[in-house]
Amino acid sequence: MKLQQGQVWHCGQEYVRIVQLERLEVGYKSATNPKFTDGEHRHTSKKDFCRLLKGATLISPLPPAKAVPGQENTVLPGDPPAPTPAISAPPTVP
């Protein structure tokens, strides 16, 4: 599982939401309810954070990007070019 900002994990009796994700450090909010009204912010190393999440359940993965109606085939800057279909040789007749 890849860590991403905004993920919510259920660890035992508490919920953990990733607030800030860096290369070596993770900022997260820990709370006893999934709405995070009573939580507190904490920082730790990524290694310790992964140990904290061991055995935890991912509650809310990030939602997929919404498709805009009428723009399903729109190519955005930086997108790789679409693969071209392979052209097969016509069948040979013996």
Return the domain boundaries, the chain: 8-60
Q: Is the predicted pLDDT of residue 77 greater than 60, yes or no?
A: no
What is the band of 1 on the pLDDT scale with cuts at 50, 70, 90? Answer: confident
Tell me the whole-structure pTM to 2 decimals.
Answer: 0.62
Q: Tokens at residue 91, please?
A: 């069948």
Q: Given this model, what pLDDT does residue 8 score?
A: 94
Q: Given this model, what pLDDT does residue 50 score?
A: 94
Looking from the CA of 11 toward its CB, the CA atoms found within 13 Å total: 17
Q: Tokens at residue 56, please?
A: 């935890």
